[in-house]
Amino acid sequence: MCEANAYIRRNGHDELVLEAVDKLIPENNQVCMVNIFGQQKTVKARVIELSLVDHKIILEEITNI
Amino acid sequence: MCEANAYIRRNGHDELVLEAVDKLIPENNQVCMVNIFGQQKTVKARVIELSLVDHKIILEEITNI
């Protein structure tokens, strides 16, 4: 399976937000994600890095808006 | 392999930009990509959708800056 786990990077540490993400749509300072189990999650964040071979999506929270 | 192909969406049509993308970093109205063959590409664009099970990264060109 080729989904990836989404993490929020805080202080250099990556916290898991949603595993097995299939779809990800960034819009209006948010990131909407749906995983292969049909779970949805929307977080105030932006994508800072994808590392697909490692199955990682790294997000950064948007706090100053 | 769990890399994805990157496409730019133009007029509803998706044009391949770089295949087998491993790393992707969005920054300053650009998207920097590196694929599993070590090829690098930077385009003036933003991510509008990831569809990882379909191995697709959809970008949209940024033209008005």
B62 close contact with A: CB closer than 8 A: no
DSSP string covering A7-59: EEEETTEEEEEEEEEEEEEEETTEEEEEETTS-EEEESEEEEEEETTTTEEEE
Residue A25 has its nearest CB partner, among B21, B26, B49, at B49
Using CA atoms, how far apart are residues A14 and A49, in angstroms rounded to an integer?
Answer: 12
Within 8 A of A18 by CB-CB distance, chain B residues are: none
The complex's ipTM works out to: 0.91
Residue B65 predicted with pLDDT over 80: no
| Average of per-residue pLDDT values in chain B | 94
Structure confidence by residue, pLDDT tens digits, B7-56: 999 999 999 999 999 999 999 899 999 999 999 999 999 999 999 999 99
Residues whose CB falls within 8 Å of the CB of residue A50, separated by 6 or more in sequence, listed in order: A4, A56, A57, A58, B21, B23, B24, B25, B50, B57
A15 close contact with B: CB closer than 8 A: no
Does A52 contact B25 at a Cβ distance shorter than 8 Å?
no
- Would you state the pLDDT for residue A31? 98
Range of the domain at A32: 4-61
Structure confidence by residue, pLDDT tens digits, A23-65: 999 998 999 999 999 999 999 999 999 999 999 999 999 987 5
A60 close contact with B: CB closer than 8 A: no
> What is the number of domains present in chain A?
1
- Would you state the pLDDT for residue B2? 81
Kindly identify which residue of chain A lies nearest to residue B47, measuring between CA atoms: A26
- Would you state the pLDDT for residue B1? 67
- Would you state the pLDDT for residue B34? 98
Residue B35 three-state SS:
strand
Does A51 contact B2 at a Cβ distance shorter than 8 Å?
no
